Structure formats: structure tokens, C-alpha cells
Homo-oligomer: A and B are copies of this chain.
Amino acid sequence: LIEDDLIAQLRQAFPRFRHGLGIGDDAAIVNAPGSLVLTTDMMVEDLDFTAAIPPEYIIEKAVSSNLSDIAAMGGIPMAFLVSLGLPENWRIHFGRMVASLVAVSRRYAVELIGGDLSGAEKLIVSVTAIGRLAVANHPLLRSGAHPGDRIFLSRPIGAAAAGLGLLQSGWSIDASGEVTAPVERSWNYAERELAASMILRHVAPAAEVELAPRLAALPSVTSCIDISDGLSTDLHHLCQASGVGARIEWERVPLFPDLDRLSGQLGINYVEAALNGGEEYSLLFTAAAREAEMSATLGRPVYAIGRITEDREIMLERGGVELPLPSAGFDHFRT
């Protein structure tokens, strides 16, 4: 059977297991330390990615987005399962996908413990990730934000959506990370550099797996979510779960370096990219602490962008004007 051959390739790539049994029985075994954190995320060709993206990036991103969810719960990722719906035309890339699974499992120190292979008309990558809580019995929830808490971002945003926009307007990237610009006009060095780094941010985002367990250990941190749908939408999610509102100061939102300065030349709406761009995987968290304190405690910069309020409105202050910030991020069902 073709399926058995594909599974044999996977088993060869993953010969050793710390947490479980190895691939190939009816199910996987995970030696659980107390509470497990579980999440699942499905990506579908032409909706979440196109055939123009090298398969390595598709696999890596599917895993990263799940590990980001584990991290956002205060979890330390341990293992994952991956189901592939593999159309005929993608099957030649199976070896590259397996290599990518090996690479991403090393990068994050997580094990592939199982999965499923199926035919499909479009490529489907469905990942389930498993972690353990960094602090026993203390998940980082969306629902803990209190009025007065500061709202933090873990890193500058806007690049993921901008990178997607560039790919849609003729830029491309190959499996080695080489970015090619559209030929209609010439681009200067700064534009090319920025475009390349933003496209990479889109195709190969990093999950904040180091930071999140440290946030979970800080009593001042009250809630956390990862930005997968966009700052506006995920802030709405967090505030709704916590029964609070928020006031964001636009001038404090950390933008990807040079994004505001060069976005016009690259045809990018950077305000839209920062406020509503999805797949950032920056952590959005709240804490009863100032930016300087929090950055010093963590030994790395984090960015306070506003405050939690009691009134349940989500507001954006920009240039002295305060306006409601609607939930306008990524909707998987927008047509």
C-alpha cells in the first residue's frame, strides 16, 4: 500500500522517542506529568496557504502555530501529531515534508508521536500539539485580565500580514529562503531587505515558546493569548473572556522595523497590517506591572501598548483621537 510506504518513510525519519512509543501503532502514548495542554489547528491549501509556498514552510508553520497556542496557555510543548491530506500533485514533496517535520521537531524539541495520512484534492495539514503546564495547575488563560492591567505585546508586529501582501503582489520565496522581487520595477536594497524579512516572518513565524513559560511563573501576569487572528480580534477575544475593555495607544504599538517608513513604496497599509494582520504569533498578555519592570524581569524587551478598562469597550487612541477598535482580523469564513 502507498500509505504503508509513506509511513515507513516517516518512521525512518523519527527512529527514537522520549515521550512515547514511536509511530506505527493504533495510537500514541504520552507519559503525562499532571495536567496536559492540548490544541489542534488545521491549514488548508488556497485558504491558509497556496501551492506557491514551499512545502517546508507550510509544515513548519502548521506546527509553529500549534506550539504558539500551547505557549499562550503557559505550556511547554512536548509532542505533536500531524495529519496530512495529500493530493497527487503534492505527493512528490512528501520527502521534503518529512524533512521539515524532523527540522521543526528539533528546533522546538518536540516529538512527532503520531498522525494520519489520507488522500485529498487540496493539501490539508492538521496538527495537534501536546504540552505540559510550566507551573502546575496554573494555565495562562484569556480570562484573567483586570481593569488597570497593562496590555503587552511580546514583539513588534505587522510583518506577517505585510509579508502575505507581498507574496500576493508578485514577490516569491524558495525553500532556501531566497526572495525574488516582481520584475515590473526596480527595488532598492532597503526595500528588498525589508520585503525579504517580512515574507520570512509570514512563511516561518516563530512561536514564543521560551517566553510563555516564564510569563506563567510571574504572579503579575493575569492573562495571555497569541495573535493568530490579528491584534484587534484577539484583543476582543481576551477582553470578552475577561469581561473587561481595553484602551490601546497606537503610538506605543511596536511596529516591525522600517515597516512604517517603507510600507508606502512596497504597497502595504501598515496600520491595517499591525492592527488586523493575523498569524503574528506574538503573545498579547496583561500584567499588573510597568513596561520597564516587565522587560527587566524578563531580561528582554516587551511592549506595553495600553490598559485594561472596566467599561468593556475596545478603544484605539491615535493622534489624540479615541475611536472604537472593531474586531477586523482574519475570519476563516470570510468570503
| Interchain CB contact under 8 A, B39 and A36 | no
- Considering the complex, which residues of chain A in the window 1-16 have a beta carbon less than 8 Å from any beta carbon of chain B? 1-4, 6
| Interchain CB contact under 8 A, A37 and B29 | yes
- Is A58 an interface position by the 8 A CB rule? no
| Interchain CB contact under 8 A, A73 and B332 | no
CA distance A114 to B72 in the complex (A): 15
| Interchain CB contact under 8 A, A40 and B114 | yes
Q: Could you jot down 9 A-B contacts, CB within 8 Å?
A: A1-B331, A3-B333, A25-B142, A26-B39, A27-B72, A32-B33, A47-B118, A124-B124, A126-B126
CA distance A329 to B27 in the complex (A): 20
A184 to chain B, nearest CB (A): 31
Across the interface, A42 reaches (CB within 8 A) one of B24, B29, B116, namely B116
In the complex, residue of chain B having the shortest beta-carbon distance to the beta carbon of A128: B128
Which stretch from A83-91, A102-110, A260-268 is at the chain B interface? A83-91
| Interchain CB contact under 8 A, B37 and A241 | no
| Interchain CB contact under 8 A, A26 and B119 | no
Per the CB 8 Å criterion, the residue count for chain A at the interface is 75
CA distance A43 to B233 in the complex (A): 30
Q: Which residues of B contact A292 (CB under 8 A)?
A: none
Across the interface, A72 reaches (CB within 8 A) one of B26, B36, B86, B142, namely B26
Q: Which residues of B contact A69 (CB under 8 A)?
A: 26-27
Known contacts A27-B70, A73-B26: A44-B233 contact under CB 8 Å: no
- Is A113 an interface position by the 8 A CB rule? yes
- Is A335 an interface position by the 8 A CB rule? yes
- Is A210 an interface position by the 8 A CB rule? no
- Is A130 an interface position by the 8 A CB rule? yes
| Interchain CB contact under 8 A, A41 and B83 | yes
| Interchain CB contact under 8 A, A334 and B85 | no
Q: Which of A3, A33, A86 has the most CB of B within 10 A?
A: A3
Q: What 8 A-B pairs are tightest by C-beta distance, nearest first?
A: A32-B32, A27-B39, A2-B333, A26-B72, A42-B83, A126-B126, A1-B331, A128-B128
- Is A51 an interface position by the 8 A CB rule? no
Q: Which residues of B contact A322 (CB under 8 A)?
A: none
Known contacts A3-B332, A46-B121, A126-B83: A139-B29 contact under CB 8 Å: yes
In the complex, residue of chain B having the shortest beta-carbon distance to the beta carbon of A48: B118
Q: Which of A33, A131, A141 has the most CB of B within 10 A?
A: A141
CA distance A222 to B248 in the complex (A): 62
Known contacts A29-B36, A38-B81: A86-B225 contact under CB 8 Å: no
- Considering the complex, which residues of chain A in the window 222-265 have a beta carbon less than 8 Å from any beta carbon of chain B? 224-226, 229, 233, 241
